[in-house]
Amino acid sequence: MSNGKPQKIAVLGGGVSALTAVFELTSEADWQQRYDITVYQMSWRLGGKGASGRNRQIYDRIQEHGLHIWFGFYDNAFGMLRRCYEENDRPLDRPLSRWDEAFKPTNYFVLSERVKDTWYDWKLSFPINLMVPGESKDPPDVEECIWIALKWLLSLLVSTSNVEFTPAEGGTKFAWFMETHAPFLTKVVEDGLAAAHLITLSVEEQVLHAAVALAADMAAFNGDPVHHRSALLSLLERLITWLRQHITENLDSNTEARRFHLLAEFTIATIRGIIADGVLDQGFDVINHLDFRDWLKKHGASEKTVTSPLVQGFYCLVFAGTYYTYEAGTALRATIRMLFTYRGSIYWKMQAGMGDVVFAPLYEVLRKRGVKFQFFHRVGNLELNSDKTAVASIEMQRMVTLKNGEYEPLYDVRGLPSWPSEPFYEQLVEGEELKKRNIDLESFWTDWEPIESYQLQQGVDFDRVLLGIPIGALPYICGELIAANSAWKLMVAHVQAIPTIAFQFWMYPDITGMGQPVAQTEPVMITTFQEPYDTLADMSDLLIRENWPNDLAPNNVTYFCGPMPDVTLPPPSDHGFPAQATQRVVQYAQEFLQTGCAFPFPNLLQKDGQFRWENMVDPARGTGPARLNGQFFRANVDPTEHYVLSVTDSWQYRLDPGDSGFSNLVLSGDWTNCLINAGCIEAAAISGLLAARAISGRSVAIGGHMDGRRKAHKKEVVVVQTVETTVDTLKVDR
């Protein structure tokens, strides 16, 4: 409090991170005695990079910034949103009234694998478990994950009995175990394995059994960890040597052998690197000076493996594509979290737009609590006090005049509160002019002048500032802070953010009719496809949330996204740049439909290779390529929309949310040092919680964090989910 009054907090930005912080701060019963919170948002909707809108002119269709999914390890994001849904307490006769209506579990995704000149679907399935997202538990130690991974690899090897590998030379040598791993025989008895059975195993199976036994001891903290690590490295060296010697020929033509080789080599190289590079003692960040691919190669992965879809998939998830690096420790942490700590399912799909599912309920709850929202307020500049230690004032630009004093941002779409894709012009004095000139108030390049500029003053309008604006915009609004603080200079120089692209098309045939065989059981997400649209997802389960008439009703909507290549941002005076960038997105889409869709959607091409444009839903009923005009394209080029990368060795330049270098400034966003340090909803939510902790000085629970270091306690080994352990993981779908 300041002078016995609630502390005034100016929240700049309305994305996941800032709203998580506000939600946490206002969850205390006495929050209104402690805080007076105002959220300043530059446009008519909340959400930041996750904002979506309903197109009121085209049947309330959902239009996203890109493709948003929630992975099952998003402990803190799910925990916050579940509490939000419980408090919002919509009636059960309203759509998506509960969080588990708003999110549906999905248990597989598909990698696009190119062998020579042919594309193949590689479906990776993940078993369901009984855990619930948002019920945070301590994640497994990395040693446990090593043990689980080796058990899975052994199961996968056993399941490949019908796969033709070159036989191991020299037959079985069971005596080898007695010389190199004496405790193994004891483990054999404990596990109920007969020594006579082991003698019949191939050498590679024997080695894996020994490795699993060692890893189990490591995970249970039995014995000498130094000896265990050394012995396990020796076993893994034998395994990777066997892979090189016996599963190398004809990999292009033997799909199951090739996929086993990729999975095994990736797993072994990862475990070797974790042990050899000190991750177990020093944490994941110790290897962040290397790119993930280079780190895997350092520990035995071949070029074929590091360029395979198995590895490329992780780069696509963070929009690095084939263009950018991905620091090894951050990549490893995210990979382990995704594969070994998910709750329920590997990922969860929202059952409407992200604006509908996430930001409308958050807005409703926060508004009921008493948080104030100032829409159409753009931040111009943050100014420091005379000794450069605190934010003294904030230049604000009010972009419109409200007719009724307060903006009502939501409207009902089939019972679901939703954000429009354009502002409600009827609530704005300047609405007709904005509509006539087609002004985009979210654009950095808009030629619309503010109605007024004014200053928020420290001690009058705010006591503290929560800066939740993405890092791409900071050079334009925080120039004085960057000049005054060397850590800020390093951060904006090294923490890189990039433009991305998105494309949605609506089709008359469903995805099976379009020729995608993998999607017959449930909607599918396909990644590692050709750049720049390297990821696509069937989102047809959302069509029930839109308002299409019978004569135009689509049976499919598919979302595409990826990094935007080769783009240089012009100054804000170049008002035509957004249209030019969007046209590039349209061009990429047309090229994809003419040259790339033969793999995922072969039925959409005629015998002469031309796209069947008549299958595309177009409200204007155009012909040929003109039907593209009825689809949705987005070039996320605005600095506030850029995706934050995790390029090699950038982690050390991220600032902590509570350590901005300025006494009254707290940071939030997935660009901060937020434990995960990769662009995702969970990283943003964690950053928001860290910001709330910094502002309140109270304990704020943050779940699910793992840093890779060995814990100083003995524990029971617990079975955690892994990828499906059968040869089906290896099979070719077409």
Each residue of 371-416: pLDDT tens digit? 999 999 999 999 999 999 999 999 999 999 999 999 999 999 999 9
Question: Side-chain half-sphere of 665: how many Cα atoms within 13 Å?
Answer: 25
Q: Which of 563, 549, 535 is nearest to 506 (CA)?
A: 549
Q: Which residue has the tokens 């059952």?
A: 351
Count CB atoms within 10 A of the CB of residue 435: 14
Strand order of the sheet with strand 347-350? 70-71, 347-350, 103-106
Q: Which of 361, 354, 478, 443 is nearest to 12 (CA)?
A: 478
Strand partners for 52: 64
Angle CA 703–357–677, to nearest 5: 35
Task: Give percent helix, percent strand, percent coil of the chain, each to the nearest 5.
Answer: 40, 15, 45
CA diameter of the chain? 87
d(CA 490, CA 361): 37
The pLDDT tens digits of the residues spanning 498-538 come to 999 999 999 999 999 999 877 666 778 889 888 999 999 99
Radius of gyration of the chain (CA): 27
- Is residue 220 a contact partner of residue 714, using CB atoms and an 8 Å limit? yes
pLDDT in the model for residue 254: 84
pLDDT in the model for residue 89: 96
**Phi first, then psi: what are they for 317, rounded to 5°?**
-60, -30
- Is residue 205 a contact partner of residue 188, using CB atoms and an 8 Å limit? no
DSSP state at residue 390:
S
Q: Which of 69, 126, 538 is nearest to 346 (CA)?
A: 126
Query: Which helix (DSSP H) or strand (DSSP E) does residue 377 occupy?
Result: strand 377-384
| DSSP secondary structure letters along 600-622 | T-GGGB-TTS-B-GGGB--TT--
Preceding peptide of 639 cis, ω within 30°: no
- Is residue 536 a contact partner of residue 599, using CB atoms and an 8 Å limit? no
Give me the torsion for CA of 725, 270, 78, 682, rounded to 10°.
-150
Name all domains of the chain by residue range, CATH numbers in brackets.
Answer: 7-100+353-487+655-696 (3.50.50.60), 137-304+326-344+714-729 (no CATH), 500-568+570-636 (no CATH)
| Helix intervals (H) in 592-726 | 681-696
| Helix intervals (H) in 303-402 | 303-306, 309-317, 328-340, 354, 360-369
Angle CA 652–646–45, to nearest 5: 110
Could you tell me the pTM of the whole model? 0.92
- Is residue 518 a contact partner of residue 733, using CB atoms and an 8 Å limit? yes
pLDDT in the model for residue 161: 54
d(CA 71, CA 556): 23
- In the predicted model, residues of the chain with pLDDT beneath 70 are 1-3, 160-202, 247-249, 519-521, 710-734
Q: Which two tokens stand for residue 630?
A: 């009825």
pLDDT in the model for residue 517: 79
Residues 6 or more apart whose CB falls under 8 angstroms from that of 301 comprise 265, 266, 269, 311
d(CA 346, CA 593): 30
Q: Where are the beta strands (DSSP E) in 19-154?
A: 35-40, 52-55, 61-64, 70-71, 103-106, 108-115, 118-125
Q: Which residue has the tokens 């050498």?
A: 203
d(CA 380, CA 363): 24
d(CA 334, CA 189): 36
pLDDT in the model for residue 721: 44
